[in-house]
Amino acid sequence: MKLSVKTLPSTLAMIGLAGMTAFWQPIDGLSCWKTPGSSFMNKMDPSRPIEGRVCLDSEKSCQSEMYNVGRHWYVKMGCSTQETAECSTEARGSGSEMISCYCTNDYCNSSSPLKARMTFAFFATSFLFFVQTTYLN
């Protein structure tokens, strides 16, 4: 399909609009992963899904606490009022340890949203280059 000069501006406008939505950010507070309930859960338990949650204004970081007993790991995640981003490890008896981490980015334990935006920008630029070299020459 060949684009005509008449349809090209509307096509480019749609691409520009799609590009702007890639950089849109919600105005909500910090978002963190949250384990169900308020207690630790086995990391391998598929019946208790970990879900995203928007934190309250007073909650400044995402919290992740893990401990192991033998080969089993237990985790508790959610929002926290702690303002500093740090991790600490504490020995808990023979062969057991507790790891507590706090971070201040959305969904700290997932990939960065910047990666998705950069991928979109790359494909949008590639598409514009394709349109220019194919239909405007």
**Residue 75 near residue 68, CB atoms below 8 Å:** no
In a domain, 19, yes or no: no
67 contacts 73 by C-beta, under 8 angstroms: yes
Distance between CA atoms of 105 and 45, rounded to whole angstroms? 26
Chain-centre distance of CA 106, in angstroms? Answer: 6
Domain count, the chain: 1
Domain annotation covers residue 50: yes
Supply the DSSP string of 22-60, one letter for each residue: HT----S--EEEE-SSSS-EETT-TTS--EEEEPPTT--
In a domain, 6, yes or no: no
pLDDT digits (tens, 9 = 90+) for 50-59: 899 999 999 9
% of residues, the chain, pLDDT over 90: 29
Least confident segment among 46-55, 91-100, 117-126: 117-126
The string of pLDDT tens digits covering residues 1-26 is 555 555 555 555 555 545 544 444 45
What mean pLDDT comes out for the span 75-104?
Answer: 88
pTM of this prediction? 0.56
Q: Is residue 17 part of a domain?
A: no
| Residue range(s) defining the domain that contains residue 38 | 27-109
Q: Is 45 domain-assigned?
A: yes
Q: Could you tell me the CATH number of the domain that includes residue 40? A: 2.10.60.10
Q: pLDDT class for 77, splitting at 50, 70, 90?
A: very high
Specify if 60 maps to a domain. Answer: yes
When mean pLDDT is compared across 56-60, 82-86, 123-127, the lowest value belongs to: 123-127
